[in-house]
């Protein structure tokens, strides 16, 4: 039974999510604030955390930063603020996905299941390390090096890079990347792919105007253009 930690200061939201998660066979633990959530992670590590951004005391993003020092649990941020900058900040510190309030509980469950289907390790049949000029991607260790230096990526950013680099030269549409990386019928705007591509390019030092790794195919999507080594 997979364990989900629900962190929200609103009791009725915790109650609704607990009911839906338990109905789908998940074990559920709850916390109403950041300190309680971190204590639960230390004592009783979950497989996934549904983490509200707006918490009393320590906010959700700070909780996420601290959580990442002790756990590799999957994290879905829940936010009432739709501004893209909040989503980018959250995803940049290690979140695997986000949900914006108000949300459908069924959508949340679908995202939980999809995130838990991701494999933190390498997939069977894949080359263990993808090597390109100035870039190496260790699929099993989920580590990336650019020009010999380690690059810190969120879980979702790593999956996005691995999907593109696993098929060099192939053009992926946004819909194909959503299906391949997010792993479910996405309820939001396909441009969420563009947000993550921008973040990924920034971390890899790969400008969109002169790409050495990820190129934009106008009107279609993206492709990996790194030179094999």
DSSP letter string, 19-51 = HHHHHTT-EEEEESSHHHHHHHHHHS--SEEEE
Bridge partners of 168?
A: none
> What pLDDT, on a 0 to 100 scale, did the predictor assign at position 39?
95
User: Which two three-digit tokens encode residue 20?
Assistant: 């839906």
Q: CA-CA distance, 97 to 78, in Å (whole number)? A: 9
Half-sphere exposure of 192 (CA within 13 A, CB side): 25
User: Which two three-digit tokens encode residue 21?
Assistant: 């998660």
Is the overall model pTM greater than 0.85, yes or no? no
> What pLDDT, on a 0 to 100 scale, did the predictor assign at position 92?
66
Q: CA-CA distance, 113 to 18, in Å (whole number)? A: 14
State phi, psi for 19 to the nearest 5 degrees: -65, -45
> What pLDDT, on a 0 to 100 scale, did the predictor assign at position 91?
60
Residues of the chain with pLDDT below 50 are 85, 121-126
Among the listed residues 153, 145, 160, the one whose alpha carbon sits nearest the alpha carbon of residue 197: 160
Phi-psi region of 212 (alpha: psi -120 to 50; beta: other; left: phi over 0): alpha
Among the listed residues 75, 46, 74, 41, the one whose alpha carbon sits nearest the alpha carbon of residue 60: 75
> What pLDDT, on a 0 to 100 scale, did the predictor assign at position 121?
47
> What pLDDT, on a 0 to 100 scale, did the predictor assign at position 85?
47
Task: Give the Cβ contact number of residue 20 at 10 Å.
Answer: 17
Q: CA-CA distance, 145 to 152, in Å (whole number)? A: 9
User: Which two three-digit tokens encode residue 117?
Assistant: 């289907």
DSSP 8-state code for residue 94: T
Q: CA-CA distance, 186 to 109, in Å (whole number)? A: 13
Query: Quick one: which H or E segment has residue 217?
Result: strand 214-217
Q: CA-CA distance, 45 to 15, in Å (whole number)? A: 21
């Amino acid at each position: 039974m997979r364990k989900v930690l629900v962190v929200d200061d609103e009791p009725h939201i915790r109650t609704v999510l607990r009911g839906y998660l338990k109905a789908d066979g998940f074990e559920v633990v709850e916390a109403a604030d950041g300190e309680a959530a971190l204590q639960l992670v230390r004592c009783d590590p979950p497989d996934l955390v549904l983490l509200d951004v707006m918490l009393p005391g320590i906010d959700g993003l700070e909780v996420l930063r601290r959580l990442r020092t002790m756990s590799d649990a999957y994290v879905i941020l829940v936010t009432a603020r739709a501004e893209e900058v909040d989503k980018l900040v959250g995803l940049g510190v290690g979140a695997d996905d986000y949900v914006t309030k108000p949300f459908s509980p069924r959508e949340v469950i679908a995202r939980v299941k999809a995130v838990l289907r991701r494999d933190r390790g390498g997939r069977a049949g894949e080359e263990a390390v993808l090597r390109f000029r100035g870039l190496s991607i260790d699929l099993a260790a989920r580590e990336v090096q650019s020009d010999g230096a380690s690059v810190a990526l969120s879980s979702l950013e790593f999956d996005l890079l691995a999907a593109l680099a696993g098929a060099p030269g192939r053009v992926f549409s946004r819909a194909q990347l959503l299906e391949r990386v997010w792993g479910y019928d996405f309820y939001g705007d396909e441009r969420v792919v563009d947000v993550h591509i921008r973040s990924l390019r920034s971390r890899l030092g790969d400008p969109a105007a002169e790409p050495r790794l990820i190129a934009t195919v106008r009107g279609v999507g993206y492709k990996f253009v790194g030179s094999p080594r």
